[in-house]
A and B are shown apart, each in its own frame.
Chain A
Amino acid sequence: MKKPLAPRQISQRTAFTFLILATIIVVIPVIVIIAVIIVNGAGAITWEFLSQPPMQAGKAGGIFPAIIGTFYLMLGTIVVALPLGVLAGIYLSEYARDNWLTRTVNMAIVNLAGVPSIVYGLFGLGVFVLMFHFGMSLLAASLTLACQALAMTVTTSREAILAVPREYREGSLAVGATKLQTIRYVVLPQARPGIITGAVLAMSRAAGETAPILVVGAAFFLPGLPQSPLDQFMALPYHLYTVAAHVPGMSKTTIWGVALVLLVVVLSFNVLATIIRLRARRWRYGT
């Protein structure tokens, strides 16, 4: 019925099998993690859980202040990291000469992403909490996370700006627009989706960070929401860490419930970033 396979075809099929196996192995843990968290945590999600402050060390009540604290942190981080990142990205891509200094700066920024997050935490403790006397606060934590996020906002801004085709810049300069006008009206609008994608990813990462905020202002329990940037705050990842590791007799469902909320916050920002990128791509091809 079938001819025996030639060696060439056998090696084709073997390669294909291995490639698909590797892909499956990569995808399985992701699916399992999400599934386990949803299955175990869904039971904890009630309106009360999302809207009430915790009681009895988190055993009862909800996680409302931690959710709000995490959103404050994301906001504080991006308010600092986005403008700085975009401005530095503009400078590095449009103005800086291509010399050893610029290359060193670029390399340093890329490597910022590789610095362990607890090191940022200690830096924030030393500089923002102690030296600038911001104390353990939302402000100190936002600035600390912003330092970490800068690696991403600068790099993505720079890449997005560099990806704007030269023809557009030339078209603008050729009608007598200045360099600054060209950047403002042609380059940045084109680079915007890339820049926003980077910013959203930086926010989702800030939402998930535990180690840095541990030392610069996150509190396990606060009676109310922070009233000023100089107040301490609750945050989802830190709350998850403490209820999971430090509260004896904690209901497993509640722990999974906190994890589920955190996961939803972080993943929804990642999905948002993907949507922005896809929509921008559609615009670029004029349909």
Chain B
Amino acid sequence: MNVNLEIPEKKETINDEVRISVRDLNLYYGDFQALRNMTLDIPENAITAIIGPSGCGKSTFLRLFNRMNDLITGVRVEGIVELDGVNIYDRDIDVVELRKKVGMVFQKPNPFPMSIFENVAFGPKRHGRKNRVELEDIVEKSLKQAALWDEVSDKLGQSALALSGGQQQRLCIARVLAVEPEVILMDEPCSALDPIATLRIEDLMRELSKNYTIVIVTHNMQQAARASDMSAFFMMEEDRAGVLVEWGATEKVFTNPQDKRTEDYITGRFG
């Protein structure tokens, strides 16, 4: 199967300001090495797509940046992940502050079983914003940013679970935006959505990338080609550890891959 890869017009130049840099990173689950020798830069205010076959550690890699892997017992991280020049794996890092700065959208839309309003206000409230008017402003602004306001402005008090899958995912994006993060991580955010909802999320991502640094894991090659500025291709080695095969401007990775494995994968010869 040959995938027809249409590369839309991208930003003229990719911002060469590095937002996150990963150096010599190894990650282990107990004895099992999940990520090996990863070195990679993530540019500011751009979309970086992580692509590769299932089980090669893409989600694990993404969860490095908000230290979500910490929740799993037996995880060990070696190497450096610098956000704005600070190693987020330093011992004195406040993980809660880090997660305010680095928001995350998950594979399956996971709005809380609360009203639409309470979902978006959840983060700001936890960070001490209690003023009702202020919260209303934040909710409206976040929902507008997430391109959901027009659809829900008249039913903010209703259960978020009554929304469609695509709306729920945009609500989750609004929930993240409400805490004013600088980096947004997206773990296959469209895999549970239909093609139209998917396109809406992609449009939204492009819009958000003007002001946010976005890292997205995706299984969908067309999505990576359409929506991202930078692409990083992951593979598994013999021992199932994930390695970074190639990374660079999406256009380059997709039209002129340097590594035979990247070419095979994006043209659908395996994976």
Contact = CB atoms under 8 A, between A and B. Distances in A.
Highest count of chain B CB atoms <10 Å: which of A173, A190, A284: A173
Interface in B58-108: 66, 68, 71, 73, 96-100, 103-104, 106, 108
Nearest to A179: B96
B112 A175 contact: no
B149 interface: no
Contacts of A177: 96, 122-123, 126
Given A181-B126, A185-B122, A185-B126, A174 B112 contact: no
A283 interface: yes
Interface residues of A, number: 24
A176 B99 contact: yes
Interface string A151-184: 0000000000000010110111111111001000
Contacts of A168: 110, 112-113
Contacts of A181: 126
A286 B175 contact: no
Interface in A246-286: 283-286
B104 A174 contact: yes
Contacts of B160: 286
A176 B100 contact: yes
B191 interface: no
Interface string B155-185: 0000111100000000010011011000000
Interface of B: 66, 68, 71, 73, 96-100, 103-104, 106, 108, 110-113, 122-123, 126-127, 159-162, 172, 175-176, 178-179
29 contacts: A97-B73, A98-B73, A165-B110, A167-B106, A167-B108, A167-B110, A170-B71, A170-B106, A173-B68, A173-B71, A174-B66, A174-B99, A174-B104, A174-B106, A174-B176, A175-B100, A175-B103, A175-B122, A175-B123, A176-B98, A176-B99, A176-B179, A177-B96, A177-B126, A190-B113, A285-B161, A286-B113, A286-B162, A287-B162
7 smallest beta-carbon distances between A and B, as pairs: A286-B161, A176-B100, A175-B123, A167-B110, A174-B104, A176-B99, A177-B126
